[in-house]
Amino acid sequence: MSWAGRALEFLALGFTLIIIVAVLTAVVLFIIDRTQTGDAIRRNYPVIGRFRHLFTTLGEFFRQYFFAMDREEMPFNRAQRDWVNRASQGKGNTIAFGSTRNLTIVGTPIFVNAPFPPIDDQFAATEPMQIGPYCREPFVAPSIFNVSGMSYGAISRPAVEALSKGAKEANIWLNTGEGGLSPYHLTGGCDIVYQIGTAKYGVRDENGNFDDDKLRALAAQPEVRMFELKLAQGAKPGKGGIMPGVKITPEIAAIRGIPQGQDSYSPNRFPDIDSFEDLLDVIAHLREVTGKPVGFKTVVGGPEPFDELFRLIRARGPESAPDFITIDGGEGGTGASPMPLMDLVGMPIREAMLMVSDLRDHYGFHDRIRLVASGKLVNPGDVAWAIAAGADFVTSARGFMFALGCIQALKCNRNTCPTGITTHDPRLQKGLVVESKYKRVANYARSVIGEVETIAHSVGVAEPRLMRRRHVRLVQPDGSTKPMNEVYPRTGAQTDS
């Protein structure tokens, strides 16, 4: 027999074996599906019913790449992600042939261009802003756009290092998240905001109380510029958390100040803070011990608590006020959370920021308490809107995750992140090369800041924080637009001039 004939015979034999294996596999699966009792579809439609689960699992990925339009996806659409990707690569973000944004969606902000904006050499450059005038060491923050809290442990070592180096290059601050200050946060030498969660990781004694010596040691590090008490976050307001003991390595245990290998619980709130009086007392204590600005992060549920807080501050005096308040939107965030809390609890940032800034200004604390906006603010238009609404600063977590290479695989809580950002699998972390990604972080931050300054220049102001509600029009149900200062008129002493 010729060589060709033998080859055909071998191929035929191989094909026959494949068919036999496939048939046997189908028979085994048929028996398993028909006899199992947990899945009605597989029981009634053996083998074929398995495709439903496969297609359901793959559906989110097919929709992302093939079926969803550029502006359709949630939580972030392709247009938003592509903008961040181009910006982080240092590429131009100019477009041609008109906007693809639907300008008829109710609430869409449209900025009001000035008929005679400043000439080109009078651009809207961001000015540094002081935080904490009553502190021994106030912080003069150089940037309006910064990195929001993401803990080491929630995100990987190379991700933290890339954020630290990128933040330093872009001259922005980096929030540690509630997981404590790791050596990787300090790699780049950027400004650090130390977040203190309800478990007081990194600043607790063996009984879970504040350890003043640890606070002083942290404050002695020049990179640590402020401290933030995390009362609540957008992903899970009112919900605590647990870190399984199997995840608490010797390194994590040392950073957080907890026993190795034992489950660690974060209460749903600070056990020693039962009222706003307690909150102000704790803030005053931390400020005295550290000498640095102290504020808090929370999610807004309504105006009444903030009205009570600002009344109390007015009675005690401006020196008792938190140096800043970070408002997180209830739209959810990087933290893993039960769906009802992610979807249904907490006001969205687009209402909350307006409400809190009104109350702050009504009680006369516009220049005393800085407001930081957080919550799905990843593009220049989002940031510019927040500043016009009353924010002094904007922070983003997911925007910087996209800059690191996040593809919105929605696997943040499974330790299988394909881009190495939220996984501790060394094999997957290899894909995140710090020396490459930190440049993307810096490029993204600079692009956002630069384009916010472009918007501010277009509306005719010399600095982004001079934008006001009158510089924004909001689309109404009938398709028309109204100035934001008419839709949400200021109720406080601060005017919208």
The residue among 67, 82, 111 that closes a domain is 67
E strands present in 116-235: 129-131, 139-141, 145-147, 173-175, 191-196, 224-230
Same domain, 270 and 190: yes
- Please, what is the average pLDDT of the chain? 85
Partners of 155 in the beta sheet? Answer: 152
How many domains are contained in the chain? 2
pLDDT of residue 367: 95
- Over 70: is that where the pLDDT of 58 sits? no
Same domain, 136 and 62: no
- Over 60: is that where the pLDDT of 73 sits? no
Report residue 61's pLDDT band, with 50, 70 and 90 as the boundaries.
Answer: low
Q: How many CA atoms lie within 13 A of 441 on its CB side?
A: 35
- Give the H/E segment covering residue 341: helix 339-344
pLDDT of residue 496: 54
Express each pLDDT in 369-416 by its tens digit. Answer: 999 999 889 899 999 999 999 999 999 988 898 888 877 766 666 666
Q: Map residue 245 onto helix, strand or coil.
A: helix
- How deeply is 23 buried, as exposed, middle or buried, from its count of CB atoms within 10 A (0-12, 13-18, 19+)? exposed
Q: 73 in a domain, yes or no?
A: no
Same domain, 392 and 271: yes
The residue among 67, 83, 108 that closes a domain is 67
DSSP conformational letter for 318: G
Same domain, 157 and 56: no
In angstroms, the Cα distances linking 12 to 17, 87, 167, 421 are 9, 54, 61, 47
Can you spell out the DSSP letters for 60-107? HHHIIIIIS-TTT-SSS-HHHHHHHHHHHTT------SS--S-TTSTT
Count of beta carbons in the 10 Å neighbourhood of residue 360? 24
Q: 120 in a domain, yes or no?
A: no
Same domain, 187 and 38: no
Q: 322 in a domain, yes or no?
A: yes
In angstroms, the Cα distances linking 69 to 72, 78, 83, 100, 148 are 5, 8, 15, 10, 29
Has this prediction a pTM greater than 0.85?
A: no
Q: Among residues 357, 351, 362, 375, which one has the least CA distance to residue 465? A: 357
Same domain, 359 and 445: yes
- Scan for tokens 């074996």, then name that residue: 17
pLDDT of residue 122: 66
Greater model confidence, 115 or 139? 139
Report residue 339's pLDDT band, with 50, 70 and 90 as the boundaries.
Answer: low
Q: 253 in a domain, yes or no?
A: yes
Q: 102 in a domain, yes or no?
A: no
Q: 197 in a domain, yes or no?
A: yes
pLDDT of residue 138: 97
- Over 60: is that where the pLDDT of 111 sits? yes
**What is d(CA 167, CA 173) in angstroms, rounded to the nearest whole number?**
6
pLDDT of residue 192: 97
- Residue 151 sits in a domain whose CATH number is 3.20.20.70
pLDDT of residue 267: 83
Tokens of 119: 């000439």
Can you spell out the DSSP letters for 276-312? HHHHHHHHHHHHHHH-S-EEEEEE---HHHHHHHHHH
Same domain, 314 and 458: yes
Same domain, 15 and 154: no
The residue among 67, 90, 119 that closes a domain is 67
Same domain, 63 and 196: no
Q: Among residues 394, 391, 378, 381, which one has the least CA distance to residue 456? A: 381
Q: Which of 107-111, 174-178, 271-275, 424-428 has the lowest mean pLDDT?
A: 424-428
Same domain, 186 and 297: yes
**What is d(CA 201, CA 24) in angstroms, rounded to the nearest whole number?**
55
Same domain, 7 and 153: no
Greater model confidence, 465 or 11? 465
Q: 169 in a domain, yes or no?
A: yes
Same domain, 53 and 161: no
E strands present in 435-475: 472-475
DSSP conformational letter for 16: H
CB of 299 within 8 A of CB of 145?
Answer: no
pLDDT of residue 63: 59
In angstroms, the Cα distances linking 25 to 31, 49, 407, 414 are 10, 15, 35, 30
Report residue 493's pLDDT band, with 50, 70 and 90 as the boundaries.
Answer: very low
Tokens of 199: 């478990």
- Domain of residue 397: give its range: 129-487
Q: 147 in a domain, yes or no?
A: yes
